[in-house]
Amino acid sequence: MIEWAILVGVAAATLRVAAPLILASLGETVVEKAGLLNLGLQGAMLVGAFSGFMGAFFTGSLWLGLVCCVIGGTITTLLYGVLVINLNLDQVVSGLAINLLAGGLTLYFTRALFTGGVAPYLQELFGPMQIPLLGSIPILGEIIFSHTGFVYFGLICVPLISILLTKTTFGLRLRSIGEDPVIASYLGIDVVKMRYVALFIEGILAGIAGGLLTISMFNTFDTRIVAARGFVAVSIVILGRWNPLGVLAGSLLFGFTEVLSLRIGILFPEISSASTNQLFALLPYLVALIALIVGGRRVRGPASLGKRVGRE
């Protein structure tokens, strides 16, 4: 009975841990369909986490904190858009520059606003919302229907983004831009506008993905709180072959390995120690790397992905 309870707990925690990856990866899927490789996703999540915490801390409202994390995320991705679209700078370099800027600014303001450079703790967090009737289903209710709103939002976004990319005129135009922006421009598609809309969508999702770390999962802010989730999200998009369902599967895989790395000491106490626990902390990233090497071979993304773009 204890073993079964542990398995249920691991399954529920997997979905909870995967939520920020699902949101961030879906946002990155949208912009990569438009031919933009935004490695600044890490920075957008960090700014979202910082903005969400600051908004909630100084206003005392978690909902205003949520609004702030969306604003922070969208400003960051739109700034990336200015660099690669308006200024026609290299996408990889611009993304890394955004990450450095986000890390530096959040560290500076954290040290400037709080004594000792350590952010305090929030008094409350967004808690679980058990869905009526469904949440009372044995086992399944605890695994799927007893989470925070962020988890439900992430799961709902999977079919919504899939429909947006495959069943709408917007998605068709976006995918055509990702294949050849010059031809898309000749056909009358406003390439610049479409790419900015894609970045705006990513900014919303990335901001929420970062914000939920500070106002739902943890109740404080640290510049290390994102913990490379932005880069993992980019790899998940490739592993998922730019398909929202594949992105969901990749996010759950990483979430499961992260939960496993945290609970392996409980499952196998005889091998638990400080050194082995630190080693197990590398497990999620190792599994993501192996999965990318195995599943990412001979994968074809959008033809114009990562290429310099201007005002076509």
Q: Pull the structure tokens for residue 57.
A: 């801390």
The residue range of the domain holding 62 is 2-117+150-295
Asked if residue 167 belongs to a domain, the reply is yes
pLDDT tens across 186-240, in order?
988 999 999 999 999 999 999 999 999 999 998 899 999 998 899 999 999 998 8
- Percent of the chain beyond pLDDT 90? 58
What is the spatial distance between Cα 258 and Cα 253, in angstroms, rounded to a whole number?
9
| pLDDT surpasses 80 at 123 | yes
Angle between helices 191-212 and 62-81 (to 10 degrees): 140
Q: What is the CATH number of the domain that holds 100?
A: 1.10.3470
Tens digit of pLDDT for each residue in 267-289? 666 566 666 667 777 777 887 78
Query: Taking the CA of residue 278 as centre, how many other CA atoms within 13 Å lie in the half-sphere pointing to its CB?
Result: 2
Regarding predicted confidence, which is higher, 310 or 178? 178
Q: Phi and psi (nearest 5°) for 168?
A: -125, 160
* Whole-number pLDDT of residue 312: 46
Structure confidence by residue, pLDDT tens digits, 10-33: 888 899 999 999 999 999 999 999
Domain count, the chain: 1
Residue in this structure with the two tokens 């190792």, named with its chain if needed: 286
| Inside any domain, residue 84 | yes
pLDDT attached to residue 33: 95
Is 117:108 a contact under the CB 8 Å cutoff? Answer: no
Residues with Cβ within 8 Å of residue 129, at least 6 apart in sequence: 147, 148, 149, 152
- Give pLDDT, residue 1: 43
Q: Which residue carries 């986000």 as its tokens?
A: 102
pLDDT in tens, 140-149: 778 888 888 9
Judge whether 283 lies within some domain.
yes
| 137 belongs to a structural domain | no
With a cut of 90, say whether residue 34 has pLDDT above it.
Answer: yes
β-pairing verdict for 146-147 and 129-130: antiparallel
* Per-residue model confidence (pLDDT) at position 270: 58
Phi then psi dihedrals of residue 132, to 5 deg: -55, 140
Buried-exposed string 234-271: b where 16+ CB fall within 10 A, e elsewhere = bbbbbbbbbbbebbbebbbbbbbbbbbbbebeeeeeee
In a domain, 302, yes or no: no
- Cα separation, 83 vs 98, in Å, equals 10
**Mean pLDDT, residues 37-53:** 95
| C-alpha atoms less than 13 angstroms from C-alpha of 266 in its C-beta half-sphere | 12
CA 222 remoteness from chain centre: 17
Do residues 47 and 72 touch, judged by C-beta distance below 8 A? yes
